[in-house]
Structure 1
Amino acid sequence: MSVPAGPGAQAGPGAGPGNAAVAAALRPLWRQPDFMRLWTAQVVANLGGQASGIAYPLLVLALTGSPQQASWVVVLHMLPFLLLSLPVGALVDRWDRRRLMLLCLAGRVLAVASLALALALDRLGLPHLYAVAMLEGLFHVFVNIAGTAALPRVVTPGQLPAATAQNQAGYGAAAVLGPAVGAALYQGVGRAAPFGLDVLCHGLAWWSVWRLRTPLALATRSPPRRLRTEVAEGLRWLWRERLVRDMALITCVVNGVQAAVPLLLIVLAHQHGASDAQVGWMLSCGGVGAVLGAVAGPWVQRRVQFGPAVIGLLCVEAAVFPLYALGTGVWSLGLVYGVIMFCAPIYNVVQFSHRLAMIPDGLQGRVNSSFRLVAMGLIPVGAAACGWLLEHRDTGTALAVFSTVWAAAALAAVIDPAVRRARRHGD
């Protein structure tokens, strides 16, 4: 398994004329069964995760009244990604990705079901809740990296921007429905209900992955080597490609701020007298923005060069973020959130499709896991910092800190020549 010499190198089954993805190249994505199965699995699982995701902080705040305790749910959920993403990326490039996703989706169903059962029996303790959050994160590492590595198998390289946009639209739709439905179930049916919906959604995702027919194991394999050697290949590829490396670092800072937003908005909304159901609708405004952004993403990707697109989006988000301080209720806060979330999927379509097209199939798992390790490195820090600032300072201080950090990320993109001069892949 060798590392290609240049960024445009393309290897693996996606380049072969007999591959099913190539045969389907002229068909729209919605007529390609395996893409739709993979897409459905990811979107349905995301819907369940969004519904239970709003319930976690609401539940911890109800049990403890502590924003800092609530922030630990996000920290523990992300911890497995930071600790395990590199070896998981190497394992994803060794193992059958379909089988791996099936095992991990089943594991998540069992973990969340135990939480729903404990709530129904009134036997839930914080250690159990934190343990399930960490298990969810563990299974998500495998499913996320394996699903990303599988995407170039079920579509051709030329369809990656459209496939990425459709994924982002699906995630946005889940982000519209999930928080609103989860908060409504939490308040109107019971605290266990959002977690029950999560179990159902991940069960449906398991069934959709089970129906995949495209082979997701590598057709040819190098002789087994030490895991550390294979991990190092992915890291070296990432480090040598300056654009990909710098985008990982910039995305890391942005993700650290974004990790703080849900808890920050929940506390701000509660300060304005919002109910839990209204909090759910406020967060759903971000999903509306994400759907619209996903629709606009391919248009931007086709018409705007990589550098100006990324820099422009980051600058708009940095300019809008401080407006949270002017929010007077859930709808004004939701409007600001919706504008920022409109930009997020466009950013993802541009940088994600560009990255996938550059990485050879045999390195997809390792390079994407390396990218994610860097890009998500500050998520626990951002979540924990938000909880500390809200508990020991105030919302104004938290907004000032995170606005400054986001502005620094935008400035880094502006002055980075690799980002500023980057063109679309293939131009």
Structure 2
Amino acid sequence: MLGGVFGRLWTAAVVSRLGDALRNPALALLAASVTRDPRAIAAVVVAGQLPPLLFGLLGGVYADRWDRRRTMAASDALRAALVGGFALLVATSEVHVAVLAGCAFLLAALGTLFDAAAFAMLPALVPADRLAVANGRLQAGTAVAGGLVGAPLAGVLFAVGAAVPFAVDAVTFAVAALLALTLRPTVGSLRPPASRTPDSATARRRVAWRAAGDGLRWIWRDRTLRRITLLSMVTNIAISGLIAVIVLYALDVLKVPTTGYGLFMSAALFGALGGGLLSGRIAARLGTLPGLRWVLVAETLAVATLAVARHPVPGAIALAVFSAGTASWNALSSAYGQRNVPAEMLGRVGSAQRTAGLLAAPVGAVGAGFLGSAAGLPPVLYAAAAVFAVVTLSSWRALRS
């Protein structure tokens, strides 16, 4: 058993994810009701994607500098106030696209701090030998909250009233903030070791930016963690390319009916749920690093199967297996870092890994777009399978204890 304190962390993370899953589609729907200009709608989407890239490393700095329990609580309390005020604005007046973009940006910026603190907090709540199980359950819970509950519910709530999904989102953040305040360490400390910081604001900013690079430097010095991060970056290129074309591939190549696309994509959700729940067993039976290697084997076979499939059923099965592998990889790689990185560095190292993965994603999406336009959709899947095959072969030597 992981204990009640982990249950509260799990609930806080899942409730926050549910709020995100309600808000993001609702923002897109609201933007579409305000304007039909694709550039304006895209600006709202990009505004929500930029903060993890701009502030991800700094989020890790402050997660390592401040009390992590209070950081989580404060981040979600601020998000509750912000999105609650936004819901009131939507209910009482017309909202400009710039306001939508600003709200998306601020919420995502606060989210980077919450995520960094939650990642760094977990080893203080869960024994080291249970970290893979804990991360797997977090992966499974957030997958269900985001895909099975949040995304479908967002449209229903928006139909009731444009402000309703944002009001519910505010409630989810408030609940998560209260839950975060109840967390008490069972293994380690929620407060990083105290460090002396300069007195002037300018000096503190310089120190913060310099400290932001500490996570990257730690990853580079740790051979195994460096290899895990590099392998994740390369696979993220293939994953983002697949995501970029999956809707067209499903409709045009696999011949999924338009009415059945939601059902087809639910295979990815259930795959992620299964992969998250299996992560602990994989780590217990194989070990973390061997488990990562075998997960890559499964993902490679799944992408290759999806590339040659020409019917919705084998395509959905392959997609489910691939999603299961991705969830397991995330859980196992997180557990490795949480177990091997010092507590005072966890926020910066975890944020550096996430930022590296995010930087790689646009490369895959852009590449898939050009390749799909020039050669058709199947070559995009073949290329993704080739990338995974190379990564899998590399991992067999790179990921050894």
TM-score tier by shorter-chain length is 0.7 to 0.9
- Greater shift, 128-137 or 50-59, is seen at 50-59
1:266 and 1:113, CA in 2 relative to 1: closer, same or farther beyond 3 A? farther
Q: Deviations over 1:261-283 (max 9, x none)?
A: 677566788998857xx776655
The equivalent residue for 2:201 is none
The whole-number CA distance in structure 1 between the counterparts of 2:157 and 2:251 is 18
1:260 and 1:406, CA in 2 relative to 1: closer, same or farther beyond 3 A? closer
1:128 and 1:201, CA in 2 relative to 1: closer, same or farther beyond 3 A? same
The equivalent residue for 1:422 is 399
2:214 to 209, 233, 239: 233
- Does residue 313 of structure 1 match 2:298? yes
1:139 Cα offset (Å): 0.7
1:251 Cα offset (Å): 2.1
- Does residue 82 of structure 1 match 2:53? yes
The equivalent residue for 2:152 is 180
**Gaps in structure 2 of 5+ consecutive residues:** 199-206
The equivalent residue for 1:12 is none
1:393 and 1:361, CA in 2 relative to 1: closer, same or farther beyond 3 A? closer
Counterparts of 1:152-231 in structure 2, within 5 Å, are 152-174=123-145, 175-186=147-158, 188-214=159-185, 215-218=189-192, 220-224=193-197, 226-231=207-212
Tell me the TM-score normalized by structure 1: 0.76
Q: Deviations over 1:221-268 (max 9, x none)?
A: 343373344334322210122332232233234445545767756678
1:229 and 1:134, CA in 2 relative to 1: closer, same or farther beyond 3 A? closer
1:130 and 1:383, CA in 2 relative to 1: closer, same or farther beyond 3 A? farther
1:44 Cα offset (Å): 0.8
Counterparts of 1:17-416 in structure 2, within 5 Å, are 28-29=1-2, 32-60=3-31, 70-121=41-92, 123-174=94-145, 175-186=147-158, 188-214=159-185, 215-218=189-192, 220-224=193-197, 226-256=207-237, 258=239, 274=258, 283-304=265-286, 305-322=290-307, 326=310, 337-380=319-362, 389=369, 399=377, 402-403=380-381, 406-416=384-394
- Greater shift, 278-287 or 244-253, is seen at 278-287
Letter in 2 for 1:311: L
Q: SS state of the match for residue 416, structure 1?
A: helix
The whole-number CA distance in structure 2 between the counterparts of 1:270 and 1:414 is 29
Q: Deviations over 1:38-60 (max 9, x none)?
A: 11100111112122233344454
Tell me the TM-score normalized by structure 2: 0.81
- Residues 372 and 380, structure 2, Cα contact 8 Å, conserved in 1: no
1:114 and 1:181, CA in 2 relative to 1: closer, same or farther beyond 3 A? same
Instruction: Give the alignment's Cα RMSD to 1 decimal.
Output: 3.5
1:402 Cα offset (Å): 4.9
The whole-number CA distance in structure 1 between the counterparts of 2:367 and 2:170 is 30
1:338 and 1:70, CA in 2 relative to 1: closer, same or farther beyond 3 A? farther
More helix by percentage:
2
Paired residues, what number? 383
1:296 Cα offset (Å): 1.8
- Greater shift, 238-247 or 107-116, is seen at 107-116
- Residues 93 and 365, structure 1, Cα contact 8 Å, conserved in 2: yes
**Gaps in structure 1 of 5+ consecutive residues:** 1-27
The whole-number CA distance in structure 1 between the counterparts of 2:54 and 2:44 is 16
